[in-house]
Amino acid sequence: MQEHRKSRGPAGVRGRNLATGALVAAVAALGVAPAADAAVKGARSIEAAHSRDLVILSDYPKNKEVMVEVLRGGVLLGTTINSHYETDDTGFLEINHVGGDCYDGNVSPDIRPGDMVRTTVGGPGGSDVDDMIVQNVTHEGAPKERIITRTLPAVVDDLGNVITPEHTVEEHTGIFVATGFATTPDGTPLPGDVEFRLNHPTKGIWAATGRRDWRSTGQAGPDGRYAIEFDTNDHPEDAPLIKGAALASLWLGSTSELSGYDDIGSACAPAPTSAITALSHTLIGSAVQDITVSGPVQDGVTVSVVSRALTVARSRSMQVP
């Protein structure tokens, strides 16, 4: 996640209304879009930290309502359509950072790589729309010191007596390595730099930087894995503090589409992960031949809909609650 100005799968279900009024439903799974292309206008940026389900907008029109939506495979997971959040006088807006800035229902969707974050300036019905795909940027915890193991030969005296047998020793290098992955949702390594940031555990100052944050960059290798170094040899007093630092990784390969990974935890309560959230028709009559039921599905959950016969007179209709 960037340094911020303010503290900082789906399934579709189809049914058919037959001439007799019988409603038959079936489940069809939808795929996840893996594209890495940003579709964000001008100097604007959308940042998504999927470990915290956090979305940050920067350099948007000032003091304007912006609706934020999260979609997976075209299925809406969360929206701020009824919250009417506005950017501040710098064009900045955060969703699900400190609580009180949640999606509708005072919850937040579980944002994952492959999800789309979509914004609409002016709120519902606006035509100024941007979107981005959340990339698979992760980290594997606090940087670990690189340790070198060496084998020392035996020491013998002039008579061939072993004074010290052959043995191995571990040497501390003072270099700490942060690891993780930076790929598209389908596993392709992301181009460009990945930034890894250590925020001082006591909100003090790192000797290495003279700041509360310590940043270093690297790039993903052919397998999508990165290894980013923090050298404490000039400032060994920093070394014992690294383990307790707050961590963040951020892909810098795009200036408008920023995917990151912070410490885990959402400020807002989680939204339901398996639920029917939309119906293509709520008014059913003889003219309605197809009904689509959709909503998010948690990993490992099998979705099914029980068929139910509905008797509907040809000259009447019924409302689905």
Which of these, 195, 177, 181, lies nearest to 224 by C-alpha position?
181
**Half-sphere exposure at residue 184, Cβ-oriented, CA atoms within 13 angstroms:** 16
What integer pLDDT is reported at residue 309 of this predicted model?
57
Mean pLDDT of the 161-185 span: 94
What integer pLDDT is reported at residue 202 of this predicted model?
96
Which of these, 255, 49, 37, 254, lies nearest to 131 by C-alpha position?
37
Q: Which residue has the tokens 């930076």?
A: 182
Question: Checking DSSP bridges between strand 246-251 and strand 257-262, what pairing results, if any?
Answer: antiparallel
pLDDT in tens, 248-271: 999 999 999 999 998 788 889 888
pLDDT in tens, 226-240: 999 999 999 999 999
Token pair for residue 221?
């290798």
Q: What is the mean pLDDT of the chain?
A: 82
**Half-sphere exposure at residue 147, Cβ-oriented, CA atoms within 13 angstroms:** 5
Choices 2.60.40, 2.20.25, 2.10.260, 3.40.50: CATH for 11-135+265-270: 2.60.40
Mean pLDDT of the 217-234 span: 97
Which of these, 127, 138, 130, lies nearest to 57 by C-alpha position?
130
Mean pLDDT of the 182-199 span: 97
Q: Which residue has the tokens 């003091």?
A: 63
d(CA 47, CA 45): 6
Q: Is the pLDDT of residue 121 over 80?
A: yes
pLDDT in tens, 56-101: 999 999 999 999 999 999 889 999 999 999 999 999 999 998 878 9
What integer pLDDT is reported at residue 140 of this predicted model?
95
Helix H or strand E segment including 146: strand 144-152
Q: Is the pLDDT of residue 29 over 90?
A: no
d(CA 169, CA 166): 10
For residue 249, the cross-strand partners are 196, 261
The domain locations on the chain are 11-135+265-270, 144-261
Mean pLDDT of the 297-305 span: 62
Specify the amino acid at residue 76.
L
